[in-house]
Structure formats: structure tokens, C-alpha cells
């Protein structure tokens, strides 16, 4: 049970308004959800309407067309792909593969790894990343994984927006391979790490090319963030064929609905949307990073579509006070009371479109004055 006065999930606007004694119809701009503000692609709603007749049939049980499209996207084989009901189902399937064993998760990170592990009776050890940089020290992590069956990482990490670099990942994969520790990497936000060129971004940010060398690597993807379709539920797991088969054996039949499954190939084919998103993020992220820092906030350098911030030493203001000031002025950001290791000390703000980001900067300025 959540005994904290802070609602467990940051985006629970209704509960937060009630907590601060604000009316339920208090107008809010939502900076708490990490979704691509350019999406969903404009054609998606018409496309979905045209597919409605397909709801009268069961989806093809192996989701062949979607798997093929994802495999081509990552230059893998369809046997290495499992379509899932959002990245969330992929996390729970990765935990199911290691039921009853021992897991390491990092904190602060996305809380669902620990929850999924507990649901599948894994013993969970938490390893803390330290403020203000939240960098992972791979050497010290490796001293902790001896005797551990599976390590969960988020890359880039939610909520810190930090990215473990590729050489560090390879060093970690070499050692974990030798001691038989599986590595699960959640790449839910990897599409937004950003290289402005689509082709190089795809190939460099995701660890998918490393699957050819490391059979103990499991990658989890979400398609709800980049395409702004969290209500549709769409994600996938990438791993070697045997791991995918085992994961599939834990998955309920027809776990992914017809509309979501059919949408995979056209979404991945929309290069223009992907390219436009990368270009936008390459401009907007550094602009916001700079502007937030200039306001006197401490900002963790971001590799994702969100920022972890807190008032800097020059402001005698807590993150809680800034959160409340923003809420009263109509801006909902993500408090971090439910992230182990942050405990409310920081705030997470999502990137939105340019004018909305500008409004947020002005309101933050007003709060800090």
C-alpha cells in the first residue's frame, strides 16, 4: 500500500490536485509523460478507422508481418523478435524467464523492473547510482553481479536520462557472459537518443547489433513513446531465438491486439516522421538544457526526451516547493517521490513542443523569483 501523501505515479493529476487543495478542473499542461510531442503521425487515426473491420477476427497468433518488419528495422531475424503488449509486458516476460532467481536492478530507475521481478519471485538487489551525475561505474557494478542471474538496465535511463556508453556496455557484456548473468536492457527511449541522421541513429543507439555476439543479452522496446500511442499498447523483445521461444511460452495468446499488431509495419515505414523527430530533438533538447541551466536549475545532461532537474544552490527552494508552484500555475511535472534513490529531491520534466517548453521556462522563472 502507498502510505505517502504523494500519488505513486506522477501523472495522476486528479490525485495531485486534490492533495494540494486545487479544484478538479484546474487547467494543467502535462509535462509529466515522456512522449514524443510530434506524434502520433498524422495518418494514424484514419488508418486505425480503416482497420476496425479486422477486430472481428483473432490476430494471426505469430504476428508474422509485425515480427518481420521489426526484424528488418533492426537487421535481425524474425525469430529474434517477440511482439508484446507494450514495453511493460516485455519487462514482465523478461522477469518470468528468471522466475525464482536473483536479480540486480539499479536505482533510481523505472520501478517496473523490481515490481516484475517480485511478481515472479526473484530476489532483488538494488544498486544505487549517485547524484548528481547518476553515472554507472561498470567496474564496481561488476563486483556486485557475481552469483546474480539477471541484471536489469534502462538505456537511456528513466528518470535520469543518462546513457551508459557503448564501450562500457561491451565491457559489462563480456564479464556477464563469462559468469552466466543475463543482461536485460530496456531501450524504451533509445529511439530518442538522437543522432540527426536516421540510419546512423538506428544502428548506433540501440544495442541490437550486439545480439549477434552476446546470446545472454535481451533488449526491450516500447513503441508507445516514440509514436505517442501509450493507449494502444505496443512493444517488443529482441534476443536470440531460444530466449524468444521461452519468453513466448510465458505470454498469453493474442496478447497484442489486431490494431496494434497491424500498425507496426506502417509505423516503422514512416521514415519522414522518424527523421523529423530526430531533427526536432537534436535542436530542442540542447536548447532546453541550456535554458533550464540558465534559470539556475541543476540539470542532469539528457540523452532522452526528458530532463531530471532540481533548484540549484542559488535558489533557497526545494523540489517539492517548485513542484507545487508549477502545479498552482498550471504546469504538471513529474515528482520523484516514487523513485527509490530520488525520494522527491528532483523533478522530471518531459520535452514538449517549442511553445509549450517556452511557457514552462517562463513559469519556472516566475516560481524561482
Q: Which residues bind ligand PLP (CB under 6 A)?
A: 86-88, 110, 154, 158, 186, 188, 222, 224, 230, 235
Return the number of the residue (229 or 367) whose C-beta is nearest ligand PLP.
229
CB of 25 to ligand PLP, least distance (A): 26
Instruction: Write the DSSP string, 223-283.
Output: STTTTT-TTT--EEEE--HHHHHHHHHTSPTT-S-HHHHHHHHHHHH-HHHHHHHHHHHHH
- Which residue's CB atom is positioned nearest to ligand PLP? 86
CB of 71 to ligand PLP, least distance (A): 19
The full length of the chain comes to 369
Return the number of the residue (63 or 110) whose C-beta is nearest ligand PLP.
110
Return the number of the residue (59 or 311) whose C-beta is nearest ligand PLP.
59
What is the H or E stretch that residue 19 is in? helix 13-19
CB of 315 to ligand PLP, least distance (A): 28
Q: Are 271 and 246 in contact (CB under 8 A)?
A: no
**Residue closest to 163 by CA, chosen among 285, 20, 272:** 285
The three cell numbers of residue 258 are 489486431
Q: Are 152 and 184 in contact (CB under 8 A)?
A: yes
Return the number of the residue (110 or 134) whose C-beta is nearest ligand PLP.
110
- Which residue has 511478481 as its cell numbers? 119
Return the number of the residue (263 or 364) whose C-beta is nearest ligand PLP.
263
Return the number of the residue (36 or 367) whose C-beta is nearest ligand PLP.
36
Return the number of the residue (32 or 368) whose C-beta is nearest ligand PLP.
32
CB of 179 to ligand PLP, least distance (A): 26
- Which residue has 532540481 as its cell numbers? 310
CB of 116 to ligand PLP, least distance (A): 10
Return the number of the residue (87 or 311) whose C-beta is nearest ligand PLP.
87
Of the chain, the end-to-end C-alpha distance in Å amounts to 37
CB of 206 to ligand PLP, least distance (A): 14
Cα separation of 144 and 220, whole Å? 23
Q: Are 250 and 63 in contact (CB under 8 A)?
A: no
CB of 263 to ligand PLP, least distance (A): 13
Lateral strand order in the sheet of 217-222: 81-84, 235-238, 217-222, 182-186, 150-154, 102-107, 123-128
CB of 147 to ligand PLP, least distance (A): 26
Amino acid at each position: 500500500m502507498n502510505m505517502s501523501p504523494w500519488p505513486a505515479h506522477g501523472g495522476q493529476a486528479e490525485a495531485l490536485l486534490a492533495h494540494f487543495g486545487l479544484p478538479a478542473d484546474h487547467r494543467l499542461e502535462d509535462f509529466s509523460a515522456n512522449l514524443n510531442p510530434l506524434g502520433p503521425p498524422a495518418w494514424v487515426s484514419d488508418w486505425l478507422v480503416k482497420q476496425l473491420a479486422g477486430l472481428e477476427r483473432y490476430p494471426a497468433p505469430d504476428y508474422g508481418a509485425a515480427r518481420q518488419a521489426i526484424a528488418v528495422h533492426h537487421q535481425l531475424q524474425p525469430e529474434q523478435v517477440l511482439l508484446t503488449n507494450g514495453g511493460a509486458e516485455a519487462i514482465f516476460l523478461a522477469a518470468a524467464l528468471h522466475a525464482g532467481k536473483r536479480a540486480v536492478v539499479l536505482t533510481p530507475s523505472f520501478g517496473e523492473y523490481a515490481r516484475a521481478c517480485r511478481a515472479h519471485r526473484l530476489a532483488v538487489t538494488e544498486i544505487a547510482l549517485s547524484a548528481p551525475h547518476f553515472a554507472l561505474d561498470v567496474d564496481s557494478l561488476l563486483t556486485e553481479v557475481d552469483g546474480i542471474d539477471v541484471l536489469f538496465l534502462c538505456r537511456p535511463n528513466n528518470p535520469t536520462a543518462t546513457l551508459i556508453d557503448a564501450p562500457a556496455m561491451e565491457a559489462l557484456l563480456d564479464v556477464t557472459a563469462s559468469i552466466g548473468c543475463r543482461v536485460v536492457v530496456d531501450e524504451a527511449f533509445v529511439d530518442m537518443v538522437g543522432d540527426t541522421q536516421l540510419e546512423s541513429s538506428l544502428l548506433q543507439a540501440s544495442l541490437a547489433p550486439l545480439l549477434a555476439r552476446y546470446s545472454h543479452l535481451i533488449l526491450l522496446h516500447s513503441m508507445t513513446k516514440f509514436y505517442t500511442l501509450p493507449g494502444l499498447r505496443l512493444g517488443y523483445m529482441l534476443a536470440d531465438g531460444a530466449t524468444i521461444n521461452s519468453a513466448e511460452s510465458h505470454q498469453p495468446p493474442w496478447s497484442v491486439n489486431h490494431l496494434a499488431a497491424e500498425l507496426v509495419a506502417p509505423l516503422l515505414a514512416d521514415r519522414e516522421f522518424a527523421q523529423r523527430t530526430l531533427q526536432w530533438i537534436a535542436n530542442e533538447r540542447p536548447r532546453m538544457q541550456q535554458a533550464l541551466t540558465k534559470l539556475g536549475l541543476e540539470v542532469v545532461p539528457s540523452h532522452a526526451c526528458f530532463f531530471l532537474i532540481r533548484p540549484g544552490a542559488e535558489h533557497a527552494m526545494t523540489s517539492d516547493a517548485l513542484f507545487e508552484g508549477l502545479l498552482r500555475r498550471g504546469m504538471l511535472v513529474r515528482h520523484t517521490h516514487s523513485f527509490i534513490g530520488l525520494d522527491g529531491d528532483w523533478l522530471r520534466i518531459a520535452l514538449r513542443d517549442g511553445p509549450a517548453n517556452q511557457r514552462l521556462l517562463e513559469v519556472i522563472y516566475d516560481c524561482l523569483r
